[in-house]
């Protein structure tokens, strides 16, 4: 067998698929600490079936799945495949072994917790996987996988744990597994045999119980059969009576149906006539409605004519009023036209006078206007000259203003630059302050992130702890629930057993007397008041015999009353005993051979001591029959019983057998009742425990949710804090850039201030020169202004005179225009009034015409109104006649409907009676059907086949008697006989099962004995060989010294432990625990290598086993590896160059990226 390669996918730090091809000889795995070398060793151990996460250096099995890195996401599963060649193909049947001897073994674990095992890519069980490597020396528990920590474990383990090495060398692991399986089967078989024996005993008891119940069922069946014959006759008689009654009802039913039909026909005829009258009446009412509508139309036409007459009369009145108003308006207009003609003549004379005044004023105005124009021309020339001076002064002033503005602008710019410099300096200081604050904020935020991270880590640990606690609580809950279910099953079994015992104890006589206890003053039964010690139950029961079932009453009168009450009842044999003083009592010392008085072995209920003394006071208990017979010769007046239940009466007769076990059953009832109470108490306690655990689980779940919520909050805070740090860093960069910019800006401002100062000085010099020129110009302009002022006074005097003339002329012209306008308006008004007067005359003629038209229309409407009044009278008389006729028809219709109602009431009464008869018929038919069905179901016959015979009173009395007897028998399960046969069949089947189990147990014990013999022989041979080889290898590795293997129990090699005695060179024999680390390592390696010399394992993995060795020891260790590598593949994880030098192949493990292992493979020769 040889390991070809191992493939890792997502296992621990091996994120991607990684293949290690394993060659014969020694393969070294090297690399720095923490790079994942030991993960390869864990992969071997895991794929071989390791179930302990702790052995894989973890807490949970999910930790073997790659958890992710900076550039790689976490994996959803971990998978390891081991490919082996040279395995025995026969061991792989059913697991995809096929004809090839190359086998691949795969283990896969998902993050959800699901796990898969495969052999040659076919799913299998963990047991199948372990069976593949059974007795090959390749097992995750064996010492073929040896880490540095397990070296010490070999020496520090207990001797019994160390015997595993001998078993591996001896190759008895398969025998050990087979023995364990056989022992498990043996234990299971013994348990099944015990259960089968219990079932057989229980079935036997049930058979005994059902034997009595079956006899009871047989008696019930016989009585029921006789009762059925009588009840069949009675049912047939009842059937005939109901059939006769049904015939009478059918006869009445037919007569009533005939009467119902005749009356119905009469009602139909009347209804038809009534319907014809109703139709005629409706037609008359329709005609009346039509005439009434015509009458209403005439009335509406008359109302309309009256309305039109009224409207026309109102129109005539309105037209007459309008005519009067028009006449008045005509007179007013004639007067106004006369007034306007007189005003026109007056205005024409005034206009002529105003025109003459205007002409005279125009001549004077022209003279004064010419003089004003000459002065104005002269002033214009002088003002032009002054204006030129003013423009020159203005231009100079503008230049001065511009220069001063420039000075002011430069000064403002200088001040602005100063302010800007101050702002820049202040902003620079603010930026430096902000930069310091940002640095502090970054430090604070990073501290907060660190604190939140610590708190989050604490919460994660707390969550994991809560998860483990919750898992533990759930495990406790499941265990308690399972235990509770088991106890409930036991309780149900006890209750069932108790019911069975009570059924047996409460036999028929007991139940019959208890049912009659209302008439008899029963206190209790003897077996209820006496409690017997278990060892003497048979003796006391034999002594009391049937009296154990006796009923205790208060006095002899109660016995007499019971006898009188129960006479005539078919009860089984029954006995009573009164609470009276005992007639015979044993006193004094007892003769030899007597175990004791019967009273000495019972405990009596308070108040019933006299009953016990009466029954047991004269009874002696002896050890056996011989002792009883000897005692009989000396004391013949007492009843003697043996411990085993034989009875010797005073006559000397020996009575044996007939045990009923009543006291044993009573005791068992008490014990079971006590057990039931105890179980119920335990169930209550466990229910309380379950409630407590459930509350704890709920609390843990709530706490877990709270921790998750808090953890989510912390993670959110951390994210926000990190985002804040990023913002602060961005702010810091921005402020730093701003600070650099402000420094450059301040330098530029200083340069600009110097330039502006020079410009201000030049502008002030220019302003002084311009102000001197401006002063000279202003002096010349003042001289010109004085001459102009004189001319302006003259001009103003002429202006005033010209203005007055112009005003006067304008006023006259306005008066002339006003007169002319008024004259024109008067002419227009006169013309308009004339035109309106003509229009009014025309309107007067039109109004007179309209009045004539309205008068003619009124005459026409009055003529039409007279005609409509005649029509209305004729229609009114027709309506009255028709209404009277309709009323008469309605009265006749009411009479007919009253007769129809009377007939319908008669039909209703007949129909109600028919319905009653229908119900009666249905009831009779149902009874007939029920009787037929009962006869068919209960007697298996059809009613027509049953002959009708007379039933005598004696037969009816016999039926009552049979019912009473069946009632006395009580409830009977007619399936008891079938159940009885089933129980017998089951009893025979279980008996055969018992025999088969006994035979199987014998065969398993024989197989275990053979396994023990073979194992014992192999272990002895293996130990002797290993002892010799260990001594040789020890001397080789240490370069001297000696060592020995010792069995802790030479006489029992199957259970013995293994001790190691070692003496390194130059030292005395001492406890191996006192050896140095290197010596312990060499001793453990010597034992391991010695086992390889006897039975080479296909693979040995040594994980830094050479770490505690010095150089010389390492060289000897390396030479030993070379020698053993001919038969065993070695995978050595090491940091030692000497060990590396003997390797044929080398794998280098690196971790270029944190958390991800990378493999470099090479042959040693290339190195």
The per-residue pLDDT for range 1011-1025, each reduced to its tens digit, is 888 888 888 888 888
In the structure, what pLDDT confidence band is assigned to residue 514 with cuts at 50, 70 and 90?
very low
Q: pLDDT tens-digit profile of 356-413?
A: 777 777 777 777 777 777 777 777 777 777 777 777 777 777 777 777 777 777 777 7
Structure confidence at residue 501 (pLDDT): 60
| Residue-wise pLDDT tens digits, 61-109 | 888 899 888 888 888 899 999 998 877 644 444 444 444 578 899 999 9
Q: What is the mean pLDDT of residues 205-215?
A: 73
pLDDT of residue 508: 44
Bridge partners of 77, per DSSP, are 110
How many whole angstroms separate alpha carbon 497 and alpha carbon 499?
A: 5
* Confidence band for 313, pLDDT divided at 50, 70 and 90: confident
- 93-97, 232-236, 739-743, 1143-1147, range with greatest mean pLDDT: 1143-1147
- Output phi, psi for 655, to 5 deg: -110, 130
- Edge-to-edge order in the sheet of strand 122-124: 18-21, 2-9, 77-85, 103-110, 115-119, 122-124
Hey, what are 579's tokens? 């609470």
Q: Give domain status of residue 630, yes or no.
A: no
The tens digit of pLDDT for each residue in 883-911 reads 788 888 787 778 877 777 887 788 778 88
Q: Is the pLDDT of residue 942 over 50?
A: yes
- Ramachandran assignment for 49, one of left (phi > 0), alpha (psi -120 to 50 degrees), beta (any other): left
Would the pLDDT of 1140 be above 70?
A: yes
Q: Are strands 530-532 and 602-604 parallel, antiparallel or unpaired?
A: antiparallel
Nearest to 906 by CA among 260, 120, 460, 412: 260
- Number of continuous H segments (helices) and E segments (strands) in the chain: 18, 24
Mean pLDDT score across all residues of the chain:
77
The answer to whether residue 582 scores a pLDDT higher than 50 is: no
- Taking the C-alpha atoms of residue 241 and residue 658, their distance in angstroms, rounded to an integer, is 57
Closest CA relative to residue 642, chosen from 624, 660, 617, 663: 624
Examine the pLDDT at 586 and tell me if it is beyond 90: no
Residue 21 forms part of a structural domain: yes
pLDDT band at 11 (very low <50, low <70, confident <90, very high): very high
What pLDDT is recorded for position 584?
A: 47
What size, in residues, is the chain? 1167
Of residues 1142 and 540, more confidently modeled: 1142
For residue 918, tell me if it sits in a domain.
no
Where is 719: in which H helix or E strand?
helix 662-934
The answer on pLDDT for 1072 being more than 50 is yes
The structure tokens 């069932």 sit at 496
Measured distance CA(446)–CA(448) in Å, rounded? 5
Residue 800 reports pLDDT greater than 70:
yes
Strand 1058-1063 with 1042-1047, pairing:
antiparallel
Among 80-89, 516-525, 1074-1083, 1104-1113, the range scoring the smallest mean pLDDT is 516-525
Residue 51 lies in a domain: yes
0.75 cut: is pTM over it? no
In the beta sheet, which residues pair with residue 6? 20, 82
pLDDT for residue 497 = 64
Task: Give the angle subtended at the CA of 1036 by the CAs of 1034 and 1038, to the nearest 5°.
Answer: 65
Question: Is it the case that residue 8 has pLDDT exceeding 90?
Answer: yes
Is there a domain that residue 86 lies in? yes
117-136 confidence digits (pLDDT tens): 999 888 998 888 877 777 67
The rounded distance, in Å, linking the Cα atoms of 1156 and 70 is 10
Residues near 420 by Cβ (< 8 Å), separated by ≥ 6? 745, 749
| Residue 124's CATH number | 3.40.50.300
CA–CA separation, 407 vs 413, rounded Å? 10
d(CA 795, CA 798): 5
pLDDT band at 654 (very low <50, low <70, confident <90, very high): low
In a domain, 1135, yes or no: yes
Tokens describing residue 181 = 């399986």
**pLDDT at res. 10:** 92
pLDDT category at 652 given cuts 50, 70, 90 is: low
706 in Cβ contact with 385 (< 8 Å)? no
The alpha-helical segments, DSSP class H, found in 605-660 are 609-616, 625-634
Residue 136 phi/psi, 5° resolution?
Answer: -95, -10
763 in Cβ contact with 406 (< 8 Å): yes
Domain that holds residue 36: 1-142+1131-1167
Q: pLDDT digits over 451-467, tens only? A: 778 887 888 888 888 88
Whether residue 111 is contained in a domain is answered as yes
CA neighbor of 621 nearest in space, from 603, 609, 639 = 639
Residue 152, pLDDT score? 67
- H or E stretch covering 1160: strand 1156-1163
- Asked whether residue 205 is assigned to any structural domain, the reply reads no
Residue 1032 reports pLDDT greater than 80: yes
What is residue 80's predicted lDDT score, i.e. its pLDDT?
94
Average pLDDT of the segment spanning 526-554: 64
Pick the residue with more confidence: 571 or 557?
557
Number of domains within the chain: 1
Of 209, 214, 217, the C-alpha closest to 966 is 217
Binning pLDDT at 50, 70 and 90, where does residue 955 land?
Answer: confident
């Amino acid at each position: 067998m040889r390991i070809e390669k191992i493939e890792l996918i997502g296992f621990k730090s091996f994120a991607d698929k990684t293949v290690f091809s394993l060659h014969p000889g020694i393969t070294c795995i090297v690399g720095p600490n923490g790079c994942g070398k030991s993960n390869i060793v864990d992969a071997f151990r895991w794929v071989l079936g390791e179930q302990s996460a702790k052995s894989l250096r973890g807490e949970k099995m999910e930790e073997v799945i790659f958890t992710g890195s900076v550039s790689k996401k976490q994996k959803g599963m971990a998978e390891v495949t081991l490919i082996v060649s040279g395995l025995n193909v026969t061991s792989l049947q059913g697991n995809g072994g096929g004809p090839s001897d190359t086998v691949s073994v795969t283990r896969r674990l998902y993050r959800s917790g699901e796990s898969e095992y495969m052999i040659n890519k076919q799913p299998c069980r963990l047991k199948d996987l372990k069976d593949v490597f059974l007795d090959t020396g390749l097992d995750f528990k064996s010492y073929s996988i040896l880490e540095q920590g397990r070296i010490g474990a070999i020496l520090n383990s207990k001797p019994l744990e160390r015997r595993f090495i001998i078993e591996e060398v001896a190759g008895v692991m398969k025998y050990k597994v087979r023995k364990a399986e056989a022992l498990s089967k043996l234990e299971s078989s013994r348990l099944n045999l015990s259960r089968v024996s219990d079932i057989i005993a229980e079935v036997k008891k049930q058979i005994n119980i059902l034997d009595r119940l079956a006899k009871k069922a047989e008696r019930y069946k016989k009585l029921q059969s006789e009762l059925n014959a009588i009840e069949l006759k009675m049912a047939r008689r009842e059937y005939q009576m109901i059939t006769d009654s049904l015939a009478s009802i059918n006869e009445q039913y037919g007569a009533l149906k005939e009467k119902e039909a005749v009356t119905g026909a009469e009602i139909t005829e009347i209804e038809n006539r009534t319907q014809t009258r109703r139709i005629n009446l409706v037609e008359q009412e329709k005609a009346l409605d039509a005439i009434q509508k015509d009458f209403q139309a005439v009335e509406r036409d008359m109302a309309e004519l009256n309305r039109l007459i009224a409207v026309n009369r109102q129109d005539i009145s309105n037209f007459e009023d309008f005519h009067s108003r028009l006449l008045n308006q005509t007179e007013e207009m004639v007067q106004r036209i006369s007034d306007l003609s007189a005003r026109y003549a007056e205005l024409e004379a005034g206009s002529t006078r105003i025109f003459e005044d205007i002409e005279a004023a125009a001549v004077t105005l022209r003279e004064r206007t010419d003089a004003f124009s000459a002065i104005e021309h002269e002033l214009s020339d002088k003002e032009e000259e002054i204006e030129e001076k003013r423009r020159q002064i203005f231009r100079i002033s503008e230049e001065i203003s511009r220069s001063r503005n420039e000075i002011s602008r430069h000064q403002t710019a200088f001040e602005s630059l100063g302010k800007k410099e101050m702002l820049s300096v202040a902003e620079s200081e603010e930026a430096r302050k902000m930069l310091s604050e940002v640095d502090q904020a970054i430090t604070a935020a990073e501290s907060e992130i660190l604190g939140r991270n610590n708190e989050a880590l604490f919460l994660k640990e707390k969550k994991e702890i809560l998860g483990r606690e919750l898992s533990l609580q759930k495990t406790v809950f499941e265990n308690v629930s399972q235990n509770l279910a088991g106890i409930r099953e036991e309780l149900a079994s006890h209750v069932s057993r108790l019911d069975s015992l009570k059924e047996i104890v409460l036999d028929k006589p007991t139940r019959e007397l208890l049912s009659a206890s209302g008439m008899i003053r029963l206190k209790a039964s003897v077996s209820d008041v006496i409690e017997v010690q278990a060892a003497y139950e048979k003796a006391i029961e034999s002594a009391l015999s049937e009296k154990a079932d006796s009923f205790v009453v208060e006095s002899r009168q109660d016995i007499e009353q019971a006898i009188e009450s129960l006479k005539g009842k078919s009860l089984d044999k029954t006995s009573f005993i009164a609470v009276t003083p005992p007639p015979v009592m044993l006193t004094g010392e007892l003769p030899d051979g007597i175990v004791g008085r019967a009273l000495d072995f019972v405990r009596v209920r308070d108040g019933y001591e006299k009953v016990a003394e009466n029954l047991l006071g004269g009874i002696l208990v002896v050890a056996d029959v011989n002792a009883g017979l000897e005692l009989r010769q000396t004391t013949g007046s007492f009843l003697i019983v043996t411990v085993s239940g034989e009875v010797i009466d005073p006559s000397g007769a020996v009575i044996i057998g007939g045990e009923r076990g009543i006291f044993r059953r009573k005791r068992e009832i008490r014990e079971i009742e006590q057990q039931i109470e105890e179980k119920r108490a335990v169930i209550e306690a466990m229910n309380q425990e379950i409630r407590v655990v459930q509350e704890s689980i709920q609390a843990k779940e709530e706490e877990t949710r709270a921790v998750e919520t808090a953890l989510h909050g912390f993670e959110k805070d951390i994210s926000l804090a990190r985002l804040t740090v990023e913002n602060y860093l961005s702010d810091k960069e921005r402020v730093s850039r701003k600070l650099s910019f402000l420094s450059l800006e301040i330098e530029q401002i200083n340069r600009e201030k110097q330039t502006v100062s020079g410009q201000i000085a030049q502008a002030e010099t220019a302003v002084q020169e311009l102000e001197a020129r401006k002063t000279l110009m202003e002096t010349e302009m003042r001289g010109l202004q004085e001459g102009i002022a004189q001319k302006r006074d003259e001009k103003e005097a002429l202006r005033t005179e010209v203005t007055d003339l112009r005003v006067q002329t304008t006023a006259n012209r306005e008066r002339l225009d006003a007169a002319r306008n008024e004259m024109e308006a008067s002419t227009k008004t006169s013309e308009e009034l004339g035109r309106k007067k003509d229009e009014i005359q025309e309107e007067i003629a039109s109004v007179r015409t309209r009045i004539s038209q309205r008068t003619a229309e009124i005459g026409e409407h009055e003529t039409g109104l007279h005609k409509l009044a005649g029509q209305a009278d004729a229609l009114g008389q027709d309506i009255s006649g028709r209404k009277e006729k309709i009323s008469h028809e309605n009265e006749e219709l009411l009479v007919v409907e009253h007769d129809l109602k009377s007939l319908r009431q008669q039909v209703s009464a007949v129909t109600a009676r028919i319905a009653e008869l229908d119900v009666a018929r249905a009831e009779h038919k149902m009874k007939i059907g029920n009787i037929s069905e009962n006869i068919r179901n209960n007697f298996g016959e059809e009613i027509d086949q049953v002959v009708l015979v007379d039933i005598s009173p004696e037969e009816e009395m016999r039926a009552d008697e049979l019912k009473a007897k069946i009632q006395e028998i009580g409830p009977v399960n007619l399936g008891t006989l079938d159940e009885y046969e089933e129980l017998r069949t089951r009893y025979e089947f279980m008996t055969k099962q018992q025999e088969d189990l006994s035979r199987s147990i014998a065969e398993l014990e024989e197989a275990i004995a053979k396994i023990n013999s073979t194992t014992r022989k192999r272990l002895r041979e293996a130990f002797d060989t290993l002892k010799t080889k260990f001594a040789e290898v020890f001397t080789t590795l240490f370069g001297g010294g000696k060592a020995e293997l010792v069995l802790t129990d030479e006489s029992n090699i199957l259970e013995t432990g293994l001790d190691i005695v070692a003496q390194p060179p130059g030292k005395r024999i001492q406890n191996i625990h006192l050896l140095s680390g290197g010596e312990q390592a060499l001793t453990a390696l010597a034992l391991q290598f010695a086992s390889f010399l006897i039975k080479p394992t296909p693979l040995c993995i040594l994980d830094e086993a050479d770490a505690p060795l010095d150089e010389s020891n390492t060289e000897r260790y390396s030479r030993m590896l070379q020698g053993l590598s001919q038969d065993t593949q070695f995978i050595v994880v090491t940091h030692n160059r000497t060990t590396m030098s003997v390797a044929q192949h080398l794998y280098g493990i690196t971790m270029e990226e944190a958390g991800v292992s990378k493999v470099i493979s090479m042959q040693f020769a290339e190195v």
